[in-house]
Amino acid sequence: MHILLIHQAFAAVNEPGGTRHHELARYLVQRGHRVTIIASSVSYITGSAPPNLTEKQDDDITIIRAYVYQAHHKSFVHRVFAFVSFMASSFIMGLRVKNVDLIWGTSPPIFQGFTAWALSSLKGIPFLFEVRDLWPAFAISVGVLKNGILIRASEWLERFLYRGADRVMVNSPGYVEHVRGLGAKRVELVPNGADAGMFDPAKKGASFRETHSIKSKFVVLYAGAHGMSNDLGVVLEAAKILQNESVPIEGTDSSASIQIVLLGDGKEKLNLQVQAAEMGLKNLSFISSVPKSEMAVALAAADACIAILKPIDMYKTTYPNKVFDYMAAGRPVVLAIDGVIREVVEAAGCGIFSEPGDAIALAEAIKTLAADPARSQKMGLAGRRYIEEHLDRAELAEQLTGILEEMSE
């Protein structure tokens, strides 16, 4: 079977960003299928060109980079231009891909879903529409999408794609009711998870600590996008509260300060850096994005990890990728997100919940983990076991493969 994936924000494992689709494509190839991916010529995370504009791997994964307007971090209007430009260029590229058996479209951005639908209609083949977050509902809730005409048009497109897809696939159980309510005929849940084999909980990331001058500290790492939704201003406020805190180093008479590390890039990063400088935060570091192939080293350097989103009810439905990577790396999670992901963390016993939007609560959760290294380590290993037993990428890929094979019959 030859699968064509339309994915503007696609990231290969040698690039920064979420690499779930590259990992899944590799499993599909192992099962004897071919995968062609039409992706952006500009990284969704960094705004720069990816390492290779066109690359082939094992002759069964082909990555084609389509043109995109290169200013999506400037403003919402510029971002819409970027989305529409990719919608058009990916459609033209998709017409040139021959002998395709199934089209796989993914959202967000939702506009590329229309490309996938149009290609599947023209080629007369099945269309799988994957929903990775509830756009435009999230954009409306966070205040990014305000124009009434754009809201109505986006909601129309969302309903159109749910109803036009042969199947709708979601990565969180919190999305199922929403997509069904808007007309999806058949909904498949293939949750976010992690490739446990990418991570080694026993490693300590000494080289990463040395490189970034965070030796001899209790390191709390946030890894991911620095955008409006991520509420990292709350993390800065928590860092200010923790600035004079120190914790005992297990087995010694010494103590260590708490260092918060923000790893990644995004539209709000410069503003956050300016804010941190104005606050005089010496216990907070910014590190640029690293490829997924280097993420294991970065997470190994952490003693605990932060997952945070704005305190918006819609975000209670989401399964953030980063949480599963934290768990696979065997690191305890400070979770400032309520809802379905909280249920996972509590079921696994792998972290501490902190009320979203509350810097004092976040600082207290970090202090609790820092004060008890043995408990923190136990939580981290519990998360790793949960991933291995319930959410390992290999098993999820098998589930996806079964869906795609059934659709193409």
What pTM value is reported for the model?
A: 0.92
pLDDT for 26 equals: 92
For the cut 90, the answer to whether the pLDDT of residue 166 exceeds it is yes
CA 154, CA 137: separation in Å to the nearest integer?
9
User: Mean pLDDT, to the nearest integer, of 112-125?
Assistant: 97
Kindly tell me if the per-residue pLDDT of 255 is higher than 60: yes
Asked if 372 and 321 touch (Cβ cutoff 8 Å), the reply is: no
**Percent of the chain beyond pLDDT 90?**
80
Tell me, which fold does domain 196-390 have in CATH?
A: Rossmann fold (3.40.50)
Ranked by mean pLDDT, the top range of 5-19, 70-84, 280-294 is 280-294
- Say what the pLDDT of residue 216 is: 87
- Can you give the pLDDT at residue 80? 78
For 216, 230, 243, 360, the CA distances from 364, given in Å and listed in that order, are: 21, 19, 13, 6
> Which tokens sit at 300?
């190994």
Give the rounded percent of residues in the chain with a pLDDT score beyond 70: 92
Residue 296 predicted with pLDDT over 50: yes
* Better-predicted residue by pLDDT, 78 or 260: 260
The whole-number pLDDT of residue 287 equals: 97
Q: Is the pLDDT of residue 365 over 70?
A: yes
Distance CA 119, CA 123 (A): 6
**Could you give the CA distance from residue 7 to residue 143 in angstroms, rounded to a whole number?**
24
The pLDDT assigned to 53 comes to 47
Per-residue pLDDT tens over the stretch 328-355: 999 999 999 999 999 999 999 999 999 9
Contact of 357 with 231, CB cutoff 8 Å: yes
Domain ranges of the chain: 2-193+392-408, 196-390
pLDDT digits (tens, 9 = 90+) for 41-57: 876 666 666 655 455 55
Q: In 3D, which of 43, 36, 35, 41 has the Cα closest to residue 18? A: 43
Average pLDDT score over residue span 355-369: 97
**190 contacts 390 by C-beta, under 8 angstroms:** no
Residue 17 pLDDT: 80
Listed residue (68, 71, 165, 148) closest to 114, CA to CA? 165
At the topology level, CATH places domain 2-193+392-408 in Rossmann fold (3.40.50)
Q: Tell me the average pLDDT of the chain.
A: 92
Angle of helix 359-371 versus helix 232-241 axis, rounded to 10: 60
pLDDT at position 366 is 97
Q: Mean pLDDT throughout 106-126? A: 96
> How much is the pLDDT for 250?
63
| pLDDT of 251 strictly over 90 | no
Lowest mean pLDDT among 43-47, 123-127, 187-191: 43-47
Q: Which helix or strand (DSSP H or E) is residue 130 part of?
A: strand 127-131
- pLDDT of the residue at 45: 63
Q: In this predicted structure, what is the pLDDT of residue 122? A: 97
> Is the pLDDT confidence value at 238 over 50?
yes
